[in-house]
């Protein structure tokens, strides 16, 4: 199959593109909208906002979520805030600056037109969420407060204490519940999408497994939107929730949707380090900690002294040493790599040697304990609770962890994948963040896609495509159900000796070692050999208890692990193919003389979109070249 | 009119409406208790004053109406409290095998239905003896005499003391709870309300309870 | 360092309406750094290898914010660490040889799905009854057109912190969900954005609460003690006030 990747970027000046496009898109008459069924999978910020706003327009929306309630999607865990170009603090912020910062922060691997649109609608998001009753932090005068975040030079981040994601999600969830009450949206909870149904080349429905009864259920629609989040759990340990998975987008990939930039994964520098093999997830601490905390390790490798016994001159404040201009505030990818480098050199601390100190001693001496507690009290307490170490007495220990995936299904300007009628929103698409996402931008993108982009572009699709009526008992659905059923039977029939979690842990370790923060050709090649072996071991030797026709969490987990075992291979393949360092993707072979990431714009200024070629065949790579008219690529430097 | 009826029914059948009715009638009964206690204090003034007070009350032509209203308040309080309790029992069909209080419950709050039942039992005895028996008209010393005779019995005194302790426990939760039920909860006010509620509960138990005890001890009479 | 050895008494129930019982299991090598749910993971891995049915329990974010985890541990919703969810609880508080009883949240409004998993869809229906501001995407006024006093915004956030876990119901002697309802009603009553629907919201959310079979609040205060987000019963007081006001107005 030959595919030409057409991003369908509207013509005209960049600041007019979105308005012009909305005018050009066809409309569905309000009275006709109820005749269209739309499936939205996922109820995080992107999914809930999309389902709610499509319901508000009058479409018949079917909303699916994997948890027991739409309110629990993992957007809820986002702490820091949401960016917008309101320029309330009068510090010369603008749509142009937010656009520029996001594009540069992504190391010039995102589309200009998409990023500009994101910056453009950012202000409307704040207006809408405020109107929903989201309790944003305010100044004493009653107006909205802003803070600086993620090293930006302007204060453009809106926040609700440390629970911004939660509050925004509850706002979207409220709107979704309102539509559910009016009957425009039907919510299906505890459902996992197990198959995409494509009829005559168009996405026309899904098959999902009812997680309570195990029954496979088919749903037909005129369009399908996937807002199922990222695939970070392929690394086993990440800051993602347990049920975050790659399965929905993986099913779409195997039905013909292209998967773009899978190797772009973000590793967040300030997480609580791993303490044992039993560990099921990693806990993120807000990176605001780096505003006052100093990061260091002992100068001497293998120094086992307690940190308070190590004198000043024997400490290596390596971020301040290597990056005097930005110091402890370098971007996430740079900070993460530097931590790994010192740990690899044997200077890591803690029982495992895989952590570095984040020290508040000097800040407490300078500003007083009260002032530090006022800013970080909740984080300090959280750390104390989890690790049983008191950060007032000894420095915190931190280590990077997989946090976000910039890669995802390839979508055009309309957020439509290469399968007509299949749209992809939020973290699940390859998104506007390029090779690295800035802090407080994920919430912005999820809500931009759901509240403002998809209502316009999906209407355009529905209005321009004449589609025949379709019921969920059509042969294509039966076939899809049979495919899903076969996969489930296969898992249950292995009756081996190892659990899915064990094998998942093994995959995660392999990925972290060979395709983590620091990637090189030999490691990636090794991973490319080991993953298929592990996959084979999984299908031969996994033990899944119970049966399909019941509430079976082990079965759910093993289905997801089976997909990670395939998805991981694509991540590695993409990482191997992209022989440059950019953003979160660091190739050892592509470094500046002083060891910093080096982009190769001549060879790799493109989106790498992979096409599934069939079982046992290597996927086919398609390239969408990226052009930069307004924001010329430059080398990032934080020295 | 129908709209008003519907609104009232909606209010009185809702969970908050029900408990506000219990709270309101409870507070009314607290008022009654306070008035009753004030009258009781006249016992300390001796036979003449007390009997004159009793005479004043019983000769009031409005008394039957007041009594009927009081009965209504009692019945409403009890009826709605039973309704609430019954629903609460149904709301958890399967009980916990292990149950530990998290620290919010008090003796008062967890025994409302029992202390309420005890108070009701007490009330029935009390009204029978002091009002319905008609003894006050026959007794040479009037109602005062009935009181003195009654509390010569140690068993009666013990029963009274126990019942009034129960009432105190009931009020220890009831008074402050009624305020919460009507939405009076403020970080500055609530500690005061709670303290006042406890004080009121203790005052009622002690002041009412003192009468049988002092009578038994011969201090009144 | 060898870890703790514990005895777990866990509620096992095949499905809704099926009879259930507390069954004993032993786990070993439990590290004090483990979270409570990681300890259950260890048990489940062990059960799978023995060919037994692993224990079903709800969990997702494992960082105390999604509200999915829902265990009653030794008779207390979310266990003994106050202000924490079950997933945030650590094994440090236990000693070698301890016995721990684990039950599901119990209420008529939360029927058991399997083992420790309950159906909390009643909360979604209560939210559908009015837990929102009716505003369509695209129709909002400029965010600064409605200033909100700092104190009100902060107070609204205190209520908005509710994660909808249902521990309040589990801990309430009457299985009442009043703290959950009041958190949303209070949040929106405090903000001007919630003003137009204030009365209608209080009435319909409460009506749905009652329909779902939750009990009545008798001001016991158990709910606020187990709430992982420290929502206070002053929130319920506000709901009571809002309800009275709405009943008079409507």
Paired tokens of B47: 């036979």
* pLDDT tens per residue across span A36-54: 999 999 999 999 999 999 9
Quick check: A128 and C32 CB within 8 A? Answer: no
Give the closest of A144, A166, A385 to C143, CB-based.
A144
The string of DSSP letters for C200-233 reads: HHHHHHHHHHHHTT--------HHHHH-TT---T
Count of CB atoms situated within 10 Å of the CB of A542: 24
| Segment among A513-517, B109-113, C80-84, C214-218 with least mean pLDDT | C80-84
Percent of chain C with pLDDT over 90: 96
Q: Where are the domains of chain B?
A: 16-89+108-216
Quick check: B182 and C244 CB within 8 A? Answer: yes
Mutate which of C77, C104, C240 to disrupt the B interface (most B C-beta within 10 Å)?
Answer: C240
Give the closest of B7, B16, B97 to C103, CB-based.
B97
Quick check: B96 and C103 CB within 8 A? Answer: yes
Q: What is the mean pLDDT of residues A437-446?
A: 93
Quick check: B186 and C234 CB within 8 A? Answer: yes
Count of CB atoms situated within 10 Å of the CB of A153: 11
pTM equals 0.96
Quick check: C134 and A178 CB within 8 A? Answer: yes
Q: What is the pLDDT of residue B3?
A: 87
Rounded Cα gap, residues A555 and A563, in angstroms? 13
Integer CA distances (angstroms), C160 to A169, A341, C185, in order: 11, 42, 9
Q: Does position C11 have pLDDT exceeding 60, yes or no?
A: yes
Q: Closest-CA residue in chain B for C22?
A: B97
> If DSSP codes are grouped into helix, strand and coil, which group holds residue B44?
helix
* pLDDT tens per residue across span A46-91: 999 999 999 999 999 999 999 999 999 999 999 889 999 999 999 9
Question: C238 CB near a chain B CB, below 8 Å?
Answer: yes
Rounded Cα gap, residues B35 and B29, in angstroms? 10
Paired tokens of C202: 């209080």
Query: Three-state SS across B155-188?
Result: HHHHHHHHHHHHHHHHHHHHHHHHHHHCCCCCCC
* pLDDT tens per residue across span C49-64: 999 999 999 999 999 9
The string of DSSP letters for A205-267 reads: EEEEEETTT--EEEEE-SEEEE-----GGGGSSBSS-TT--SHHHHHHHHTT--EE-TT-EEE
Paired tokens of A136: 């944003």
Q: What is the pLDDT of residue A601?
A: 95
Report how many Cβ contacts below 8 Å link chain A to chain C: 217
Residue A306 to chain C, least CA–CA distance (Å): 19
Which neighbouring-strand residues pair with A399? Answer: A271
Q: Which of A286, A60, A52 is nearest to A171 (CA)?
A: A52
Rounded Cα gap, residues C213 and C232, in angstroms? 23
Q: Which positions 175-194 of C are in contact with B (Cβ < 8 Å)?
A: 175-176, 178
Q: Which chains does A contact via 3+ CB–CB distances below 8 A?
A: C
Rounded Cα gap, residues B1 and C183, in angstroms? 34
Q: What is the mean pLDDT of residues C32-39?
A: 94
Rounded Cα gap, residues B141 and B221, in angstroms? 10
Rounded Cα gap, residues A44 and C4, in angstroms? 38
Q: Closest-CA residue in chain C for B177?
A: C219
For residues B165 and B144, is the Cβ–Cβ distance under 8 A? no
Q: Does position C198 have pLDDT exceeding 60, yes or no?
A: yes
Contact present, C and B (at least 3 Cβ pairs less than 8 Å): yes
Residue C86 to chain A, least CA–CA distance (Å): 13
Integer CA distances (angstroms), B106 to B85, C168, C205, in order: 17, 17, 29
Paired tokens of B39: 């009258």
Q: Which of C175, C245, C185 is nearest to C216 (CA)?
A: C175
Quick check: C142 and A543 CB within 8 A? Answer: no
Q: Where are the domains of chain C?
A: 4-114, 120-249
Mutate which of C215, C224, C249 to disrupt the B interface (most B C-beta within 10 Å)?
Answer: C215
Residue C22 to chain A, least CA–CA distance (Å): 19
CATH domain B16-89+108-216 topology: 3 helical TM bundles of succinate and fumarate reductases (1.20.1300)
> If DSSP codes are grouped into helix, strand and coil, which group holds residue C76?
strand
Percent of chain A with pLDDT over 70: 99
Q: Does position A151 have pLDDT exceeding 80, yes or no?
A: no
Quick check: A543 and C133 CB within 8 A? Answer: no
Kindly give the pairing relationship between strand A60-64 and strand A185-188: parallel
Out of A332, A437, A530, A535, which one is annotated catalytic?
Answer: A332
Tell the burial category of B40 from Cβ atoms under 10 Å away from its Cβ (0-12, 13-18, 19+).
Answer: middle
Q: What is the mean pLDDT of residues A121-145?
A: 97
Give the closest of B92, B100, B183 to C240, CB-based.
B183
Residue corresponding to tokens 């009058």? A58
Q: Does the domain formed by C120-249 have CATH 3.60.20.10?
A: no
Enter the DSSP assignment of A597. B
Q: Which chains does C contact via 3+ CB–CB distances below 8 A?
A: A, B
Question: C47 CB near a chain A CB, below 8 Å?
Answer: yes
Domain at C4-114: CATH architecture: Roll (3.10)
Q: What is the pLDDT of residue A332?
A: 86
Q: How sure is the predictor about A2, in pLDDT bands with cuts at 50, 70 and 90?
A: low
Longest dimension (CA), chain B: 60
Quick check: C60 and A242 CB within 8 A? Answer: yes
Q: What is the mean pLDDT of residues A521-536?
A: 97
| Beta-carbon contacts of residue A70 (< 8 Å; ≥ 6 apart) | A43, A47, A48, A63, A173, A176, A177, A187, A189, C124
Rounded Cα gap, residues A192 and A66, in angstroms? 5
Rounded Cα gap, residues A290 and A359, in angstroms? 9
Mutate which of C218, C222, C224, C231 to disrupt the B interface (most B C-beta within 10 Å)?
Answer: C218
Paired tokens of A106: 């992504």
For residues B175 and B200, is the Cβ–Cβ distance under 8 A? yes
Q: Closest-CA residue in chain A for C208?
A: A181
Give the closest of C63, C128, C147 to A177, CB-based.
C128
* Region label for C175, one of left (φ > 0), alpha (ψ between -120 and 50) or beta (otherwise): left
Mean pLDDT of chain C: 96
User: Which domains are present in chain A?
Assistant: 267-402 (3.90.700.10), 475-603 (1.20.58.100)
* pLDDT tens per residue across span C158-194: 999 999 999 999 999 999 999 999 999 999 999 999 9
Render each residue's pLDDT in chain B as its tens digit; 221 residues: 888 899 999 999 999 999 999 999 999 999 999 999 999 999 898 888 999 998 898 889 999 999 999 999 999 999 999 999 999 999 999 999 999 999 999 999 999 999 999 999 999 999 988 888 777 777 878 888 888 888 888 898 999 999 999 999 999 999 999 999 999 999 899 999 999 999 999 999 999 999 999 988 888 87
Enter the DSSP assignment of A582. B
Rounded Cα gap, residues A556 and B34, in angstroms? 65
| Beta-carbon contacts of residue B65 (< 8 Å; ≥ 6 apart) | none
Mutate which of B102, B106, B109, B186 to disrupt the C interface (most C C-beta within 10 Å)?
Answer: B102
Contacts of B176 in chain C (CB under 8 A): 219
| Beta-carbon contacts of residue C166 (< 8 Å; ≥ 6 apart) | C67, C70, C105, C107, C110, C118, C120, C123, C177, C180
Q: What is the mean pLDDT of residues A291-319?
A: 93
Rounded Cα gap, residues A81 and A165, in angstroms? 7
Contacts of B112 in chain C (CB under 8 A): 218
Contacts of C81 in chain A (CB under 8 A): 385
What's phi and psi for A135, nearest 5 deg?
-80, 70
| A161 noted as active-site residue | no
Contact present, A and C (at least 3 Cβ pairs less than 8 Å): yes
Residue C148 to chain B, least CA–CA distance (Å): 21
Tell the burial category of A419 from Cβ atoms under 10 Å away from its Cβ (0-12, 13-18, 19+).
Answer: buried
For residues A535 and A559, is the Cβ–Cβ distance under 8 A? no
Paired tokens of C17: 């309406």
Q: Does position A324 have pLDDT exceeding 80, yes or no?
A: yes
Contacts of A175 in chain C (CB under 8 A): 132, 135, 137
Q: What is the mean pLDDT of residues C150-160?
A: 96
Quick check: C92 and A138 CB within 8 A? Answer: no
Mutate which of A19, A135, A379, A387 to disrupt the C interface (most C C-beta within 10 Å)?
Answer: A135
Q: Closest-CA residue in chain B for C174?
A: B88
């Amino acid at each position: 199959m030959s595919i030409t990747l057409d991003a369908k970027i509207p013509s005209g000046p960049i600041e007019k593109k979105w308005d012009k496009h909305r005018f050009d898109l066809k409309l569905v008459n309000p009275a006709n909208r109820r005749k269209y069924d739309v499936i939205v999978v996922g109820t995080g910020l992107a999914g809930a906002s999309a389902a709610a706003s499509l319901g508000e327009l009058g479409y018949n929306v079917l909303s699916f979520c994997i948890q027991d309630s739409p309110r629990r999607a993992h957007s809820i865990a986002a702490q820091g805030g949401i960016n917008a170009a309101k320029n309330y603090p009068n510090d010369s912020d603008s749509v142009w600056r937010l656009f520029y910062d996001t594009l540069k922060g992504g190391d010039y691997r995102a589309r200009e037109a998409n990023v500009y649109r994101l910056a453009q609608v950012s202000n409307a998001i704040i207006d809408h969420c405020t109107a929903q009753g989201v309790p944003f932090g305010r100044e004493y005068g009653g107006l909205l407060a802003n803070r600086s975040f993620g090293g930006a030079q302007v204060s453009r981040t809106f926040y609700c204490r440390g629970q911004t994601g939660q509050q925004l999600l509850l706002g979207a969830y409220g709107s979704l519940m309102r539509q559910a009450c009016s009957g425009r949206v039907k919510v299906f909870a505890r459902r996992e999408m197990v198959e995409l149904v494509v009829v005559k080349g168009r996405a026309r429905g899904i098959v999902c497994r009812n997680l309570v009864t195990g029954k496979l259920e088919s749903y037909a629609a005129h369009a399908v939107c996937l807002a199922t989040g990222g695939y970070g759990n392929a690394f086993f340990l990440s800051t993602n929730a347990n049920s975050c998975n790659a399965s929905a987008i993986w099913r779409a990939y195997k039905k013909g949707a292209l998967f773009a930039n899978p190797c772009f994964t973000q590793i967040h520098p300030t997480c609580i380090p791993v303490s044992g093999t039993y560990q099921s997830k990693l806990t993120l601490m807000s990176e605001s900690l780096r505003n006052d905390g100093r990061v260091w390790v002992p100068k001497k490798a293998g120094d086992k002294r307690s940190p308070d016994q190590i004198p000043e001159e024997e400490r290596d404040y390596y971020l301040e040493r290597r990056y005097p201009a930005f110091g402890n505030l370098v971007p996430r990818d740079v900070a993460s790599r530097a931590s790994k480098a010192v740990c690899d050199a044997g200077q890591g601390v803690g029982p495992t040697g895989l952590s570095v100190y984040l020290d508040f001693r000097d800040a407490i001496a300078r500003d007083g304990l009260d002032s530090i507690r006022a800013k970080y009290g909740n984080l300090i307490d959280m750390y104390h609770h989890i690790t049983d170490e008191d950060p007032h007495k000894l420095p915190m220990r931190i280590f990077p962890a997989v946090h976000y995936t910039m890669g995802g299904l390839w979508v055009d300007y309309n957020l439509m994948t290469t399968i007509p009628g299949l749209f992809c929103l939020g973290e699940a698409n390859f998104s506007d963040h390029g090779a690295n996402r800035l802090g407080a931008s994920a919430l912005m993108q999820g809500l931009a896609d759901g509240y403002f982009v998809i209502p316009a572009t999906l209407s355009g699709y529905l209005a321009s495509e004449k589609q025949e009526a379709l019921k969920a008992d059509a042969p294509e659905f039966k076939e899809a159900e049979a495919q899903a059923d076969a996969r489930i039977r296969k898992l249950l029939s292995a009756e081996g000796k190892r659990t899915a979690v064990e094998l998942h842990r093994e995959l995660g370790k392999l990925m972290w070692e060979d395709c983590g923060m620091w990637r090189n050709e030999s490691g990636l090649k090794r991973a490319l050999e080991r993953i298929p072996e592990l996959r084979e071991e999984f299908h031969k030797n996994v033990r899944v208890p119970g049966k399909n026709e019941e509430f079976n969490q082990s079965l759910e987990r093993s289905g997801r692990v089976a997909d990670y075992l395939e998805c991981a291979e694509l991540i590695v393949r993409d990482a191997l193919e992209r022989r440059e360092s950019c953003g979160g993707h660091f190739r050892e072979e592509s470094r500046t003389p002083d060891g910093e990431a080096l982009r190769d714009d001549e060879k790799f200024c493109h989106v790498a979109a992979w096409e599934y070629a069939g079982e046992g065949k290597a996927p086919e790579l398609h390239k969408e070249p990226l052009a930069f008219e307004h924001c010329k690529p430059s080398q990032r430097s934080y020295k | 009119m129908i709209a008003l009826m519907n609104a009232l029914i909606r209010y009185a059948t809702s969970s908050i409406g029900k408990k506000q009715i219990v709270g309101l009638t409870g507070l009314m009964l607290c008022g009654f208790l306070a008035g009753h206690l004030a009258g009781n204090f006249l016992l300390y003034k001796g036979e003449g004053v007390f009997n004159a007070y009793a005479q004043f009350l019983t000769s009031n032509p409005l008394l039957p109406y007041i009594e009927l209203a009081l009965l209504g308040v009692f019945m409403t309080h009890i009826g709605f409290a039973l309704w609430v309790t019954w629903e609460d029992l149904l709301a958890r069909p399967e009980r916990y095998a292990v149950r530990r209080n998290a620290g919010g419950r008090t003796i008062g709050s967890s025994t409302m239905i029992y202390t309420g039942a005890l108070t009701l039992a007490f009330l029935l005895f009390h009204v029978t003896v002091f009002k319905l028996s008609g003894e006050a008209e026959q007794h040479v010393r009037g109602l005062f005499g009935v009181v003195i005779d009654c509390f010569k019995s140690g068993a009666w005194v013990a029963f009274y003391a126990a019942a009034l302790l129960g009432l105190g426990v009931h009020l220890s939760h009831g008074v402050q709870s009624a305020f919460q039920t009507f939405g009076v909860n403020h970080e500055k006010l609530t500690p005061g309300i709670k303290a006042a509620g406890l004080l009121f509960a203790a005052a009622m138990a002690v002041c009412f309870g003192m009468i049988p005890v002092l009578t038994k001890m011969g201090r009144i009479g | 360092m060898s870890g703790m050895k514990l005895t777990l008494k866990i509620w096992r129930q095949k499905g809704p309406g099926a009879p259930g019982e507390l069954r004993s299991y032993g786990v070993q090598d439990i590290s004090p750094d483990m979270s409570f749910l990681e300890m259950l993971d260890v048990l489940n891995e062990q059960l799978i290898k023995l060919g037994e049915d692993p224990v079903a329990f709800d969990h997702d974010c494992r960082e105390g914010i999604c509200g999915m985890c829902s265990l009653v541990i030794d008779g207390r919703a979310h266990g003994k660490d106050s202000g924490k969810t079950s997933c945030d609880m650590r094994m440090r508080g236990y000693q070698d040889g301890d016995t721990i009883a684990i039950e599901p949240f119990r209420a008529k409004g939360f029927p058991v799905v399997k083992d420790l998993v309950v159906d909390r869809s009643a909360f979604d229906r209560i939210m559908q009854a009015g837990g929102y501001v009716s505003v369509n995407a695209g129709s909002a006024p400029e965010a600064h057109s409605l200033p909100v006093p700092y104190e009100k915004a902060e107070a609204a956030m205190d209520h908005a912190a509710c994660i909808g876990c249902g521990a309040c119901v589990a801990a309430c002697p009457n299985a009442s969900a009043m703290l959950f309802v009041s958190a949303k009603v209070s949040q929106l009553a405090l903000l001007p954005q919630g003003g137009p629907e204030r009365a209608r919201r209080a009435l319909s959310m409460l009506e749905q609460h009652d329909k779902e079979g939750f009990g009545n609040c008798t001001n016991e205060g158990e709910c606020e003690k187990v709430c992982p987000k420290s929502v206070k019963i002053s929130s319920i007081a506000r709901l009571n006030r809002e309800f009275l006001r709405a009943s008079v107005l409507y």
